[in-house]
Amino acid sequence: MGHAPSVILGLCSYTHDSSAALLVDGELIGFVEEERLSQQKHTKDYPRHAVDWLLGEAGLPVAAVDAVAYNFQPARYLAESPAALRLALSATTRSRALPRARGFAKVALRTQLRTRMLGRLFPAARVSPVLHHRAHQMAAFAASGWNESAVLVVDSLGERQTTTIARGHDALHPSTRTLVAINDPASLGYVYGAVTEHLGWRRGDEEGTVMALAALGDPERFRHLFARAVRTTPAGFVVDPAYFPPRVLTSGYPRTSRRFIAETCPERHPSEPLQDVHRDLAAALQERTEQVMLHLAHRARMITGSRRLCVGGGVATNCVSIGRIIDDGIFDEVFVPPAPGDAGTAIGAAIAVHTASRNRRPLSGVARACYLGPSYQYQALDLTPWPNLQQKTLGVETAEFLADQLAHGMIVGLFQGRVEAGPRALGNRSILASPLEPGVVERLNATVKFREPFRPFAPMVLAERAEEFFTLGQQAPYMSMASGVTDKARERVPAIVHANGTSRLQTVTRSQNPFMHDVLSAFGRRTGVPVLINTSLNVKGKPICGTPEMALDCLANSGLDALLLEGRWITK
């Protein structure tokens, strides 16, 4: 690189979960997923809204961008094409060999063309493709704020890699060194997505629904099948192509085999009712996922010698697996960043380019930061498009007022401050409800979120009182870890305990979110329980509401009782 970039734009684009991040002299100006502004969930479009906001926030023109950090390296895809031909040696995989080789070559060319398009959009910048798993590693490690840790990344696919174990160093100038890399077709994310699709849900979107369903099934029926299909090895794991044929990066190639279908069940159409076989299949998949993740965590501990672990990649959103790793006690602490999936690689790619340059400015604004997107605190509000809504401005006791409304059984949308990073609402774009209200879970699922009745709801709790209700034993600021619960939780707040006896909790400190800390404290004074149900401000199939207009639409078209939008109380 000819000079040290001072303005680096990190991008995740053209695949799914488009996003953008901006570093200026090592300081993270912001990060936002395009869906929060465009209203298109999991959009793969170039993140135009996100980039425009970031440059506006920094007061910079397009010409000021020195480097564009892209979260894939085209040439790495190309390397898989000749390797794919080895599949022709086996009768089980022979039919996939040539299509797989062609598919990876095609994606390599397409990715190269995308980097050229970015070069045209930013003519003054150098486009720097970053290895996908390196972007994941950097995003996870830098967000931890630690000076050293093991870093485990598990996803569906990044170029050729699906799983890496690395060691991270230096909080101010983060670096990671990959020690183990597992390549496709050994992919835990691919298997989970394949079964999600087989069960009638959208791959890449509704894996969390399968994780929830798993708690209602018995893994015994298909336990041995998954032990054969996803086999652990001293190096990591392998996937049996007899059950999950090797990936072809072209549509029209099933991800499950005839044998898998014959030994489990036919594909379920989304309109078909759930049966015990579907629940049992989900349970066995989830159990095996937890076992493999735990195996990989043990391997990371042994290889790195580290007592702390960062986990990234799409599979890191499997909160039950993360909880299992924590419960096992092999690490003193486990950290999952707020945006562990592909969207977060925009941050990681930008960090990777910054640390590889000659700019020695320390990284700032990344560690333990989750509220990174746009804020609309001072924007005027026009309710003309929503004639049935009324508003009033609240005073200084807003937290007390909200706590009182929640204690009286209202379900309230909350829109305040900057948009959260990642897939979880963390108190700035949330729907809040009292866990003490009879039938609250059923009401939320049926009339507010419009989703499956077995889906659980996550609790948020004052960090200083978390141990009264949860057994996790560490902080969980980003709702990324499933925790066991205490007898007190089962007795006082059973609504937040899932069928498997866990809760995906968020611990809230005053420094992280002062307003939500005040609300939880006020609710605790009224009820004796400093715990609230917290789910994302959206309905099924829609992204989390990133703009006031999206939030008002959510209020108008769902069973929400009210919306607290930047100090304004809005009701129907």
| Single-letter amino acid code for the residue at 33 | E
- The length of the chain is 572
Mean pLDDT score across all residues of the chain: 96
Report pLDDT digits (tens) over 375-427: 999 888 999 999 999 999 998 899 999 999 999 999 999 999 999 999 999 99
- Of 199, 202, 159, the closest CA to residue 178 belongs to 159
Amino acid 1: pLDDT: 42
Amino acid 5: pLDDT: 75
Report pLDDT digits (tens) over 10-35: 999 999 999 999 999 999 999 999 99
Distance CA 13, CA 72 (A): 10
- Of 521, 568, 552, the closest CA to residue 407 belongs to 521
| CA 312 centroid distance within chain | 9
Amino acid 3: pLDDT: 62
Q: What pTM value is reported for the model?
A: 0.96
Instruction: State the burial class of residue 233 (Cβ atoms within 10 Å of its Cβ: 0-12, 13-18, 19+).
Output: exposed
Residue 106 contacts by C-beta under 8 Å, 6 or more apart in sequence?
249, 250
β-bridge mates for residue 127, sequence order? 68
Average pLDDT over residues 156-181: 97
Distance CA 359, CA 194 (A): 43
| Single-letter amino acid code for the residue at 56 | G
> Is the backbone of residue 368 left (phi > 0), alpha (psi -120 to 50) or beta?
left
Distance CA 544, CA 199 (A): 25
Confidence band for 360, pLDDT divided at 50, 70 and 90: confident
Distance CA 54, CA 50 (A): 6
Q: Tokens 């991800």 belong to which residue? A: 255
Instruction: State the burial class of residue 106 (Cβ atoms within 10 Å of its Cβ: 0-12, 13-18, 19+).
Output: middle
Q: How does 439-465 read in b/e, with b if 16+ C-beta sit within 10 Å? A: ebbebbbeebbebeebbbbbbbbbbeb
Q: What are phi and psi of 539, to 5 degrees?
A: -115, 165
Average pLDDT over residues 115-125: 97
Six-digit token pair at 570?
A: 């809005």
Report pLDDT digits (tens) over 299-316: 999 999 999 999 999 999
Report pLDDT digits (tens) over 312-346: 999 999 999 999 999 999 999 999 999 999 999 99
